[in-house]
């Protein structure tokens, strides 16, 4: 069982994905690959079926709301070489839609339902896209930063402070006023 | 066939006269907490299963966004309440990675010792509950009797029996008490004989074997396809243990085996857990021998401000890969915290595993997967 170096994996992934990868980098020991939403199934299939990278294991799908955009993050790992890979898909916040990968990894089914439940990300082609943890008639997607309009003060702080801190990491944080 | 028969005949898709819908749970002793399974039954045969989650949903990921990094640490062991120490461990590993903190060596040893003790009591429950699901009540009581020995040790160290809150970002809360080592060594000396006792009670039992052998088989490719991890994956022969592969903390220093199964049935999953208990005792012994002196934590300010960035850190809990994905924007509170629970993936496999089996076997399969709903529902 040969372990793959992250830089080697980077070169391999670059070769494998070609133009599908918008951006390739190494951060936090992970190989981070950014793809467009439309290219996701193709990139995922190639990563899964490649002999060297063989990302047969989908650890989880993570939704993140960055206020200006939304993100779906697919944590992959090849059981043979233990190079963790993050497949990063940037989504339009107003209309977060991304093709489903349920037919590539069966385990993606519930993870996609969870991301839909929490963030309202629509996974196109998902066999059964329903809420999974919150109740069926819940009127909001709770982990979106503007999920509760009636709690304006708190969300306003979050919006101001965090939005700025994301753009300029050195700036003081306004969430502190509490 | 006349039209009337067509309409009322058994098996007509419009009527499903033979099919009965039965709700198992959310309050049912064999669903391990508040899992609700909607069963479609044909007599005693399970046609399809639909797990319903969310009865224990407490919004842990959202709550993290309104708490400071240290405040959140007090809650996190409530997630998977049987292995709370691993929840704390994965979370502090995430924050430490964000802040690039190196933890003192002694603290790492303490984490390993307490963590493995926690793995043992969690596997006790897995063992006892699994056998309880199969209708044997003695192993359950024996497991609970022996769990008390470990609880006494953990209470001595942390002051708590279940919700430890013992980890700190940059170490542990305080040092091990003086009498801990003697107590722990005494436990380690007696414990292997007790595992033999468990095995003598169950492993060769005719009824147990006929209920578990060849039941609920998970193939290696299905393990990867569904994202299973931990003993559930290793019972199918997938040789994957984060303690060895990633080698976090001081695990690379220890010599331990990763027990593997061959067939991936309920019996192999049971056997894997039993063997893991033995391996855990070996790890604790080695850690007690190797533990060094020095500080157990580094002084941290009460208000942490990790630099902006994102990390994913996972630990091998008794149920598999428990991961924490943290996004920091440089503020006092996490911008996003995602908790990746191994049981979530395991439950998503239940419909596939149980279709076509009898209800009693569904209970056995669910028990062998070692489900804890606290971590799944978050």
Check pLDDT > 80 for residue B196: yes
A33 is a domain residue: yes
* Cβ-based contacts of A81 with chain B (< 8 Å): none
Is A57 at the interface with chain B, CB within 8 A?
yes
Is A175 close to B246, i.e. CB distance below 8 A? no
Query: What is the C-alpha separation between B169 and B73, in angstroms, rounded?
Result: 9
Is B348 close to A64, i.e. CB distance below 8 A? no
Calculate what percentage of chain B has a pLDDT beyond 70. 94
Structural domain containing residue A11 = 6-168
Check pLDDT > 60 for residue B377: yes
Query: What is the C-alpha separation between B26 and B377, in angstroms, rounded?
Result: 13
Check pLDDT > 80 for residue A82: no
Say which of A27, A73, A162 has its CB closest to residue B329. Answer: A162
Instruction: Indicate the DSSP class of residue B297.
Output: B
Is A6 at the interface with chain B, CB within 8 A?
no
Whether the CB-CB separation of B34 and B373 falls below 8 Å is answered with yes
pTM for the model: 0.85
A39 is a domain residue: yes
Which pLDDT belongs to residue B356? 83
A177 is a domain residue: no
* B101-149 confidence digits (pLDDT tens): 889 999 999 999 999 999 999 999 888 888 888 888 888 888 888 888 8
R_g of chain B computed on alpha carbons: 22
CB pairs under 8 A between A and B: 111
Question: Mutating which of A58, A140, A175 best tests the B interface, going by the most B Cβ atoms within 10 A?
Answer: A175
Question: Mutating which of A48, A53, A60 best tests the B interface, going by the most B Cβ atoms within 10 A?
Answer: A60
Sign of the torsion angle spanned by Cα atoms B258, B263, B265, B266:
negative
* Cβ-based contacts of A169 with chain B (< 8 Å): 307-308, 329-330
Percent helix, strand, coil in chain A (nearest 5)?
Answer: 35, 25, 40
First-last CA distance in chain B = 53
Check pLDDT > 80 for residue B357: yes
Check pLDDT > 80 for residue A154: no
Say which of A30, A133, A162 has its CB closest to residue B378. Answer: A133
Is A118 at the interface with chain B, CB within 8 A?
yes
* A95-135 confidence digits (pLDDT tens): 889 999 998 998 899 999 999 999 989 999 888 888 888 88
* Cβ-based contacts of B330 with chain A (< 8 Å): 165, 169, 173
Which residues sit opposite A34 in a β-bridge?
Answer: A23, A88
- The token duo for B302 is 């009460």
A48 is a domain residue: yes
Mean pLDDT of B258-273: 90
- A149: CATH: 3.30.460.80
Is A75 close to B325, i.e. CB distance below 8 A? yes
Check pLDDT > 50 for residue B1: no
Half-sphere exposure of B326 (CA within 13 A, CB side): 30
Mean pLDDT of A168-178: 46
Sequence-separated contacts (24+) of B46-52 with Cβ below 8 Å: B46/B354, B46/B355, B46/B356, B46/B357, B46/B358, B46/B359, B46/B362, B47/B19, B47/B355, B48/B351, B48/B355, B49/B350, B49/B351, B49/B354, B49/B355, B49/B362, B50/B351, B51/B347, B51/B348, B51/B350, B51/B351, B52/B26
Please provide the average confidence, as pLDDT, over all residues in chain A: 78
Question: Mutating which of A65, A110, A154 best tests the B interface, going by the most B Cβ atoms within 10 A?
Answer: A110
Is B312 close to A84, i.e. CB distance below 8 A? yes
Q: Which residue of chain B comes nearest to A136, CA vs CA?
A: B54
Buried b (16+ CB within 10 A) or exposed e, B138-148: ebbebbeebbe
The CA distance from A85 to the nearest CA of chain B, in Å, is 11
* B56-68 confidence digits (pLDDT tens): 888 888 888 888 8
Instruction: Indicate the DSSP class of residue B358.
Output: B
Whether the CB-CB separation of B274 and B199 falls below 8 Å is answered with yes
A175 is a domain residue: no
Domain count, chain A: 1
R_g of chain A computed on alpha carbons: 18
Question: Mutating which of B245, B335, B341, B350 best tests the A interface, going by the most A Cβ atoms within 10 A?
Answer: B335
């Amino acid at each position: 069982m040969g372990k793959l170096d992250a830089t080697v994996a980077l070169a391999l992934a670059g070769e494998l994905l070609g133009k599908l990868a918008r951006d390739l980098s190494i951060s936090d020991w992970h190989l981070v690959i950014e793809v467009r939403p439309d290219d996701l199934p193709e990139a995922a299939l190639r990563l899964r079926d490649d002999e060297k990278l063989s990302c047969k294991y989908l650890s989880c799908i993570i939704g993140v709301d960055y206020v200006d955009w939304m993100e779906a993050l697919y944590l992959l790992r090849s059981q043979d070489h233990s190079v963790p890979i993050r497949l990063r898909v940037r989504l339009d916040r107003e209309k977060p839609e991304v093709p489903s990968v349920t037919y590539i990894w069966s385990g993606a089914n519930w993870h996609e339902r969870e991301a839909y439940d929490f963030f309202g990300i629509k996974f196109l082609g998902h066999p059964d896209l329903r809420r999974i943890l919150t109740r069926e008639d819940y009127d909001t997607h709770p982990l979106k930063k503007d999920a509760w309009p009636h709690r304006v003060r708190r969300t306003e702080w979050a919006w101001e402070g965090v939005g700025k801190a994301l753009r300029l990491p050195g700036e003081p944080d306004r969430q502190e006023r509490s | 066939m006349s039209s009337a028969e067509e309409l009322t005949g058994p098996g007509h898709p419009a009527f499903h006269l033979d099919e009965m819908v039965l709700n198992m749970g959310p309050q049912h002793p064999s669903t391990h907490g508040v899992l609700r399974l909607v069963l479609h039954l044909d007599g005693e045969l399970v046609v399809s299963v639909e797990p319903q989650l969310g009865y224990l949903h407490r919004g842990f990921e959202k709550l993290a966004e309104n708490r400071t990094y240290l405040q959140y640490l007090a809650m996190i062991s409530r997630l998977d309440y049987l292995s709370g120490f691993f929840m704390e461990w994965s979370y502090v590993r995430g924050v430490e990675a964000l802040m690039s903190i190196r933890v003192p060596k002694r603290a790492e040893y303490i984490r390993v010792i307490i963590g493995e003790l926690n793995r043992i009591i969690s596997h006790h429950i897995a063992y006892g509950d699994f056998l309880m699901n199969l209708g044997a009540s003695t192993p359950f009581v024996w497991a609970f009797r022996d769990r008390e020995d470990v609880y006494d040790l953990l209470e001595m160290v942390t002051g708590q029996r279940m919700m430890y809150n013992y980890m700190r970002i940059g170490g542990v809360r305080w040092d091990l008490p003086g009498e801990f080592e003697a107590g722990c060594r005494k436990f380690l000396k007696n414990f292997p004989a007790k595992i033999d006792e468990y095995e003598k009670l169950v492993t060769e039992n005719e009824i147990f074997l006929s209920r578990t052998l060849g039941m609920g088989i998970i193939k290696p490719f299905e393990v990867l396809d569904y994202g299973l991890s931990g003993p559930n994956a290793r019972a199918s022969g997938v040789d994957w243990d984060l303690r060895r592969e990633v080698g976090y903390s001081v695990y690379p220093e220890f010599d331990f085996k990763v027990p593997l199964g061959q067939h991936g049935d309920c019996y192999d999953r049971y056997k894997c857990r039993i063997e893991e208990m033995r391996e855990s005792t070996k790890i604790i012994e080695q850690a007690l021998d190797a533990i060094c002196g020095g500080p157990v934590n580094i002084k941290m300010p009460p208000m942490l401000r990790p630099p902006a960035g994102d990390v994913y850190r996972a630990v091998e809990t008794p149920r598999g890969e428990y991961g924490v994905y943290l996004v920091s924007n440089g503020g006092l509170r996490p911008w996003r915290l995602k908790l990746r629970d191994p049981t979530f993936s395991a439950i998503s496999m239940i419909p596939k595993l149980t279709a076509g089996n009898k209800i009693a076997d569904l209970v056995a399969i669910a028990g062998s997967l070692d489900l804890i709903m606290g971590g799944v529902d978050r």
